[in-house]
Structure 1
Amino acid sequence: EGLSGEAYENLSAREKKLLELRARLRTTRKLNQGAVLKEAESGGKQKESRGGASKRAFEERKAKKAKQLAAQGLGPGQSYLLQSAESAEQSYQKNKKKPAPFGWEVYNQKSLYNAYKKSELRVPANSKADGIEAGSEAAVNRMVQDLEEQRERRANFKRRRKFRDETDGGINDQNASFNKKIERAYGKQTKEIKDALERGTAL
């Protein structure tokens, strides 16, 4: 710490040792800071090389495409005019939103349409009949029966949950299963802590 030779000699052994330790601490701190800076620089370069190369390639492809479009006399938003019918169909099929499977989303358009088709099969309609004219007794009975069946199905449309004993040790089935796995893995190590918690002597 900038002590002269005489002052250093007058220090006790403990004070000398303290000075040496401080000097070593300073040098190691400097080395660590240098290593951190070097690592940060190399990390930045690696990131740039990884992300930068793909970005450059993307920009090059974009510029090449724009040049091709300009050569054909088209603007940047008119690239679809160069597409063939087959490739356009392929990209359309690829990006087309597929309807959710029936029963997965109960009230989406596809499932409502399917439900209508099913009900049409159960209760056949007479398209030639007059709208004001009342249906025959048999047709009315069929419709009433179908409506009652629908009401019954709606009443039964509940997700069945199996009975779960509260002593399983979980807020739901998934949590109870997770707790069992944890108990298998770490039960021996945590037994003492659990016992202490139950006794109230956890501290």
Structure 2
Amino acid sequence: MRKLKLKMNQARQLNKQEVLREGERLGSVEGAAKARNGKHLVEQADSSIYRATKKSDMAALSQYSARDYYNSEGMSKSYERNVKSINRATGGGAWKDDPTNSTATFDPILDASDEAKERDGARNLANEMKRRIEKQKEKRDRLEFEGEDVTWINQRNRKFNQKISRNYDAHTAEIKQNLERGTAL
């Protein structure tokens, strides 16, 4: 038992001496240099994390996504315009006043169909379809410019190139000029 107590005292004394040496070492120039180096490493890690997050954010912004095809606001505005044009075509909503057109009073036994109304409805539908086809043609003609350089292989690629050019044209203008002149490295 006495040997065990001696070993414990010896270990305690060695531990105290080591603690004192470590305190002196941290208080010295070497300790301060190590602390500064550790702080510098932490700052480097923070800056590299910041750069990595910024780079990933930029990559996410420049990515081509499905949201480019689906625009809910545009679809709702288009729907509202179409509803307004249909109301104008039918005479400003006069069909709402007719009690025979109400779904609450619909009776399949009674034949309340009017041939003139059906013809008007078919005519209005045909006019609306023609108007939409004309609108598509105008849009297509507007998109196709005569003097435009062709840098795309299909419409999807064309849209993608337009999106890329929004972000990178300012940075690649000089490279393009060098390629055109033949002086590119």
The answer, yes or no, to whether TM exceeds 0.5 is no
Higher RCO (C-alpha 8 Å, min separation 6): 2
Give the TM-score of the pair, scaled to structure 2. 0.36
